[in-house]
Amino acid sequence: MEAIVKTEFSLPGQISLYKGKVRDVYNIKDEYLVMVVSDRISAFDVVLPKGIPYKGQVLNQIAAKFLDATSDIVPNWKMASPDPMVTVGRKAEPLPVEMVIRGYLTGHAWREYKSGKRSICGIPMPEGMKENQKFDQPIITPTTKAHVGHDEDISREEIIANNLVPVEIYTQVEEYTRRIFQRGTEMAAKMGLILVDTKYEFGIQDGKIYLIDEIHTPDSSRYFYGDTYQENFNKGIEQRQLSKEFVRQWLIENNFQGKEGQTVPFMSDTFVAEISERYIELFEHITGEKFVRADATNVMARIESNIRNYLNTL
């Protein structure tokens, strides 16, 4: 299958098209959003030069599953998934922060800790912790949502003091974040996985809070294998994880972290295929379902037809 890295549909009622790092989002009549999850892949806030076959389908179908599985906790934007790479839902005004929640000291938090910092986003971290160690309680470490460049860590106090989010809404969003993470943790555990950390985005429509975008996908989350976690931690060796972190590590090893003057290393077809298989592996592990590769004979025509057919029902 050829990776889908760009869409340029002209849909009924379309007002605008927003291209994110991975998603192409079509605004329909200022009421609905059509989100096409492309096969683009980003790391360090940079879109890498090659797409990853089936990545968009994996992300879209995992997110759809978890949105459905958490809709009793908080209402979400999803209305339907008319194509394996598409979700259609209600349009909400996004909050200007992303809610990152961490159950373990790893990734960005570990890099900060290793550099000598003992707090992140105003949350203290105890002395003597080791990489991949579990926190006593999950910590919420929000970030700003940068339209250009890198998201930045921000504390609860700064969010409220700068009036980015009203205190009553932020308090409710924190509660939702903890409850969704707990649900995701329980679902992962049933599949022999550990949900390590993740991020959630929320929006407001008619004064009501909605969970928006994707959740619990390998782009927004990190998973460890439960059966080898403790042994690997005790030995101080790297955890095998189902996430995008292995792509970040590959980039770091090849002297790229998205900094000015750095060049994205060459991505071989073999490496691209490996990334694709890792995404499919995560889908099957976290859902317990066999991944069914969507018909690849004319993907763009399939996507557009499925979108149009659904919009005609609204």
Residue 34 CA to residue 45 CA, distance in Å, equals 23
pLDDT of 281 higher than 90: no
- The tokens describing 23, both together, are 């998603």
Q: What percent of the chain has pLDDT over 90?
A: 88
Residue 159 CA to residue 178 CA, distance in Å, equals 18
Residue 26 CA to residue 124 CA, distance in Å, equals 41
pLDDT of 147 higher than 70: no
Q: Over the stretch 94-126, which tens digit does the pLDDT of each residue have?
A: 999 999 999 999 999 999 999 999 999 999 999
Helices (H), 134-268: 156-161, 167-190, 226-235, 245-253
pLDDT at 245: 80
Q: Over the stretch 122-131, which tens digit does the pLDDT of each residue have?
A: 999 999 999 9
pLDDT at 9: 97
User: Which residue, chain included where needed, has tokens 């939702």?
Assistant: 176
Mean pLDDT over residues 30-59, rounded? 95
Residue 229 CA to residue 219 CA, distance in Å, equals 21
Low-confidence winner among 50-64, 140-154, 155-169 (lowest mean pLDDT): 140-154
pLDDT at 149: 61
DSSP state of 55: H
Q: What percent of the chain has pLDDT over 70?
A: 98
CB 302 within 8 A of CB 80: no
pLDDT at 102: 98
3-class DSSP assignment, residue 65: helix
pLDDT band at 148 (very low <50, low <70, confident <90, very high): low
What does the domain layout of the chain look like in residue ranges? 14-92+267-311, 94-242
Residue 220 CA to residue 200 CA, distance in Å, equals 8
Beta-ladder partners of 223: 195, 242
The CATH homologous superfamily of the domain defined by 94-242 = ATP-grasp fold, B domain (3.30.470.20)
237 CB-near residues (< 8 Å, 6+ apart): none
Mean pLDDT over residues 191-201, rounded? 96
End-to-end CA distance of the chain: 31
pLDDT band at 151 (very low <50, low <70, confident <90, very high): confident
Reply yes or no on domain 14-92+267-311 having CATH 3.30.200.20: yes
Mean pLDDT over residues 282-296, rounded? 92
19 CB-near residues (< 8 Å, 6+ apart): 25
User: H or E stretch including 142?
Assistant: none
Long-range pairs for 231-238 at CB < 8 Å and ≥24 separation? 232/132, 233/130, 233/132, 233/133, 236/130, 236/131
